[in-house]
Amino acid sequence: MENEKPFEAPQGKQSVIIEMRAGTGGDEAGLFVRDLYRMYSKYGSSQGWGQRVLDSSQSDIGGYKEIVFELQGSGAFDKMQNEGGVMRVQRIPKTEKQGRVHTSTVTVAVLKKPNQREAIQINPSDLKIDTYKASGPGGQYVNKTESAIRITHKPSGIVVTSQSERNQLQNKENAMNILAAKLLQQQEEADLSKLTEARREQIGWAKRSEKSRTYNFPQNRITDHRLGKSWHNLENIIEGDMEPIFKAFRKI
Pairing verdict, β 64-73 and 14-22: antiparallel
Q: Which residue did the predictor score with more confidence, 64 or 206?
A: 64
User: Using one digit for the tens of pLDDT, what is the confidence trace for 40-55?
Assistant: 999 999 999 999 999 9
pTM over cut 0.85: no
Class of domain 14-116+202-250: alpha beta
Across 117-149, b (16+ Cβ under 10 Å) vs e yields: eeeeeeeeeeeeeeeeebeeeeeeeeeeeebbb
pLDDT(195) > 60: no
- State the pLDDT at residue 95: 76
- State the pLDDT at residue 207: 43
Q: Does domain 124-193 have CATH number 3.30.160.20?
A: yes
Rounded distance, CA 143 to CA 148, Å?
10
The ranges assigned to domains in the chain are 14-116+202-250, 124-193
